[in-house]
């Protein structure tokens, strides 16, 4: 895959949310960071590049009226995580509607921190 410059600062979350394949119900991994353009998951398995998933995650009750966020994302890369028993995988979000983008922005604002927040 061609390396493209990152337009959006990745935002790490203060805790990892579980992400599931909405079609099969199988857990895909835990959300590590998030933007309105994509996300990174940590998981036990590597994902093949270019595969599209219907994703679902349960939103924290204390922060959201909505219970679930559903969206489509395509795997772009997968590599060993810092812990070699796990993999980090980057996904590009596909065709997000305004409501989904608004929820992602709220999620980042409520639970996100940037590297500069922990200096």
For the chain, the structural domain boundaries read: 11-112
Express each pLDDT in 17-38 by its tens digit: 899 999 999 999 999 888 999 9
In this structure, are residues 58 and 15 in contact, taking their beta carbons and an 8 Å threshold? Answer: no
Is the pLDDT score of 119 beyond 60? no
Question: Could you tell me the fold of the domain covering 11-112?
Answer: Thrombin, subunit H (2.40.10)
In this structure, are residues 64 and 103 in contact, taking their beta carbons and an 8 Å threshold? Answer: yes
CB within 8 Å of 106: residues ≥ 6 apart: 63, 64
Express each pLDDT in 58-107 by its tens digit: 888 887 888 999 999 999 999 999 899 999 999 999 999 999 999 999 88
Tell how many helices (H) and how many strands (E) occur in the chain: 1, 8
């Amino acid at each position: 895959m061609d390396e493209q410059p990152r337009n959006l600062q990745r935002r790490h979350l203060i805790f990892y949310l579980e992400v599931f394949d909405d079609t099969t119900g199988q857990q895909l991994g835990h959300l590590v960071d998030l933007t309105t353009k994509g996300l990174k998951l940590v998981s036990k398995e590597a994902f093949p590049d270019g595969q599209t998933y219907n994703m679902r995650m349960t939103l924290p009750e204390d922060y959201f009226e909505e219970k679930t966020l559903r969206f489509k994302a395509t795997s772009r890369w997968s590599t060993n995580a810092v812990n070699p028993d796990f993999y980090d995988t980057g996904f590009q979000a596909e065709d997000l509607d305004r409501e989904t983008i608004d929820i992602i922005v709220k999620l980042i604002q409520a639970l996100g921190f940037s590297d500069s927040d922990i200096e």
